[in-house]
Amino acid sequence: MDVEIRIQDTPLQPWSEMPPVHAGRPSVGGVVSFVGLMRDSNQGDAVAGMTLEHYPGMTEKALAQIVDEAGQRWQLEAVRVIHRVGELAPQDPIVLVAVASAHRGEAFQACEFIMDYLKTRAPFWKRERTAAGDARWVDARHSDDAAAAAWENGPES
C-alpha cells in the first residue's frame, strides 16, 4: 500500500492530486475520493471565513495510524490524505481522502472509514467567523462520534 499524507497551509487543489493515486497501478479497479469543502453557513448562520488549527506532529501520526488501520481492514493499493490548515474561505477544499483498490467495495469502505476516524481522532480544530462578525470555535458533532463508533463493531466489507 502506497501512502501519502500531507498537511498544508496553501490552497488544496484536490483534482490535481488525484492522478498519482491510480496512475501506473494497473491492478487498481476503483478509486474513491472524498473532498470536504467549507460551507457558507453553519448552524443557521452565514459563515465568512474559517481558521483551521492543528497539532503539528501529532496530526501526521494520527492520520498515519488511521490509514494504517484501514490498510489492515481492507486490501488497498494506494491512499492519499491531504488536509488544509490556516485561513479558509467558503467553498475552499478542506480535506481530500483518496483510496485506490482492486475492488470498489473496499475502496468505498476504506475512504469513509478514514474520513469518519479523521473527524474524531485527528487533532484539527475549526474556528469560524460569521458574516455578523463573531468568531467561534466549531463544536464537535455527536453524529461524527456515532459514525466512527459504528466501525468498531460493524461489518467490515
| Residue 17 contacts residue 10 (beta carbons within 8 Å) | no
Q: Parallel, antiparallel, or unpaired: how do β-strands 78-84 and 2-8 relate?
A: parallel
29 Cβ contact list (under 8 Å, min separation 6): 101, 102, 103, 104
Work out whether 30 is an interface residue with a copy of itself (CB under 8 A).
Answer: yes
Q: Quote the least distance from Cβ 41 to a copy of itself, whole Å.
A: 7
Does residue 147 belong to the site contacting a copy of itself (CB under 8 A)?
Answer: yes
User: Which residue lies nearer to a copy of itself by CB, 23 or 58?
Assistant: 23
CB of 52 closer than 8 Å to CB of 96? no
Question: Which is nearer to a copy of itself, 10 or 27 (by Cβ)?
Answer: 27
Indicate which single residue of 8, 9, 19, 137 sits in contact with a copy of itself (rule: CB under 8 A): 19
Does 130 sit near a copy of itself (CB under 8 A)? no
- List the one residue out of 139, 119, 62, 70 whose CA is nearest residue 98: 70
Upper half-sphere CA count for residue 67 (Cβ side, 13 Å): 23
Rule CB under 8 A: which residues touch another protein?
A: 36, 52-55, 57-58, 61-62, 83, 94-95, 115, 118-127, 137-141
Contact region with a copy of itself (CB under 8 A), list: 59-67, 68-76, 106-114, 130-138: 106-114
Q: Is residue 20 within the footprint of a copy of itself (CB under 8 A)?
A: no
